[in-house]
Amino acid sequence: MKYTMTEISHFSHPDHKLMLENSELLFKCEGCKEEVGIGFRYRCPECDFDLHVYRAVPAPNIDHPFYTKCSFQFLSSPPGDGLHTSAADMKYTEAEISHFSHPDH
């Protein structure tokens, strides 16, 4: 596969640009936390920060064979105010989860 962007800026690592590298050494992707990444990645050598190419530059929309009537869109942050409520009365944000069955923690 040919990659055209050799250097990118990414919202998850705003202090430095990420450089495209191909390596046969294993790496940990900071996007998905998978520790068996290999091959092409975007990397910040100053911070030892790595992202799979498909996490750094995802397709804007994807389809899934299990959900044939849906198209999924990648977002760099939660939509709206980031606070959502489910049918089970569970409230969550990026940093915290609370549930009615355990109100004190």
pLDDT digits (tens, 9 = 90+) for 53-105: 888 887 778 788 888 888 887 776 666 665 555 444 444 444 455 556 556 65
For residues 47 and 45, give the distance between their C-alpha atoms in angstroms, rounded to a whole number: 6
For residues 73 and 92, give the distance between their C-alpha atoms in angstroms, rounded to a whole number: 20
Quote the pTM value. 0.59
Q: Is the pLDDT of residue 50 over 50?
A: yes
- In this predicted structure, what is the pLDDT of residue 69? 86
CA dihedral over 99, 100, 102, 105, signed as positive or negative:
positive
